Amino acid sequence: MQVNDNRSGWGKAYLTGAFVLAGTSVITGRLLGQHLGTFTIQAGSLGIMLAVLLPLYGGRIIRAVSGMSRDQWAGILLQAFFGMFAFRCFLLYGLPLTSAGEAGVLLGTTPAITALLARLVLKEPLYQGAVRGILCTVAGLALIQGGGGSLSWSHAAGNLLVLGAAASEALFNLLAKNRQSLDAIRNKELHPMVQTFLVSAAAFLFSLLPAIAERPVQELAACGFREWMALVWYGLVVTAVSYALFYRGVKRCDPYVTAAFSGVAPLTSMLVAVWLLQEQLGWKQWLGGGFIMLGISLIGSRAQGKLSVIAKV
């Protein structure tokens, strides 16, 4: 029992670190989006990460690739598409239309979406805490979306795009957890950094062709030191370190714990946006964010005790 407690404790620590770093993606994306195209940001940051990781883990990567099955490759491609490519497309297209702080709050819907998908896709039991958390999330969204009478159509579209990013992240969480469980059963688990490399390489290929249409060479040549440091941060920290910690954590925790801890990312985004970008959020946004954070806590309450089951497998 103690071993399982330690395993879960380390899993929560890994997830906390992963989502704190992931939360900085909103600020980094806002900065880079002022100078570079969406696909150039993806291809550039991932290219930097791949160039650094390949010499360090080349041997492990070659050995892992040689023994991978077809369904493992399918899992890698799906994680790359939803967890990196689609998530960043939605987020980077949505950020210019809404505030970074509000985007951070909206990403807090990820746990509620994850909980719903865990029930629908993985047939996980839906507990009272999860139901209440989902309802709190819906209430928070209603407050944020109605946060001002002057809300424009473009602002609403930006919020919807950010919600698309949250849905993509939720799908990624479930895909990664399901893939980890299957690989553990078959004793074919990938090293976290190898898995991060392969998922990133697939996402890099997804973004490479669209990036060419954005004239990336000219855009990158015009970047200053700050923009290059942001690309390095996006590639090495937000992607490499964050995803490696996530893969370590997700195999030690169930989907509801993972969903709850994913709320650390939007909280980080919101606080950093207010602190660094000096953005101002209205009382409805703060209250809506409070409802979403309460929802995150309720969704994660499964890990704190046994609650009655609303729906069973």
Per-residue pLDDT tens for 127-149? 777 777 778 877 877 776 655 44
Q: Are strands 126-127 and 309-311 parallel, antiparallel or unpaired?
A: antiparallel
What's residue 51's pLDDT?
Answer: 94
What pLDDT digit, counting tens, does each position of 276-293 carry? 777 676 777 778 778 877
Indicate the range of 52-66, 83-97, 253-267 predicted with least confidence.
253-267
Please give the average per-residue pLDDT across 111-129, as a whole number.
75
Please give the average per-residue pLDDT across 227-234, as a whole number.
94
Please give the average per-residue pLDDT across 240-247, as a whole number.
88
What's residue 207's pLDDT?
Answer: 95
Dist. CA 52–CA 155, nearest whole Å: 38
Residue 1, SS3?
coil
Please give the average per-residue pLDDT across 148-153, as a whole number.
56
Dist. CA 196–CA 246, nearest whole Å: 9
pLDDT at 1 over 50: no
State pTM to two decimals.
Answer: 0.76
Q: DSSP character for 222? A: T
Indicate the range of 45-49, 88-92, 271-275 predicted with least confidence.
271-275
Which string of b and e fits 188-198 if b means at least 16 CB within 10 Å? ebbbbbbbbbb
What's residue 295's pLDDT?
Answer: 76
What's residue 37's pLDDT?
Answer: 92
- Mean pLDDT over the full length of the chain: 80
| Element holding 66 (H helix, E strand) | helix 38-66
Computed over its alpha carbons, how large is the radius of gyration of the chain? 19
Q: DSSP character for 190? A: P
What proportion of the chain, given as a percentage, has pLDDT over 90? 24
What's residue 3's pLDDT?
Answer: 41
Please give the average per-residue pLDDT across 225-247, as a whole number.
91
pLDDT band at 305 (very low <50, low <70, confident <90, very high): very low
What's residue 182's pLDDT?
Answer: 60
pLDDT at 92 over 70: yes
What's residue 307's pLDDT?
Answer: 35
What pLDDT digit, counting tens, does each position of 164-211 carry? 998 998 888 788 777 666 665 455 677 888 888 999 999 999 999 999
pLDDT band at 99 (very low <50, low <70, confident <90, very high): confident
Please give the average per-residue pLDDT across 67-74, as a whole number.
86
Sequential DSSP letters for 142-155:
HHHHTS-TT--HHH
Please give the average per-residue pLDDT across 77-101, as a whole number.
89
Sequence-ordered list of residues with C-beta below 8 angstroms from that of 48, at least 6 positions apart, any chain: 231, 232, 235, 236
pLDDT at 308 over 60: no
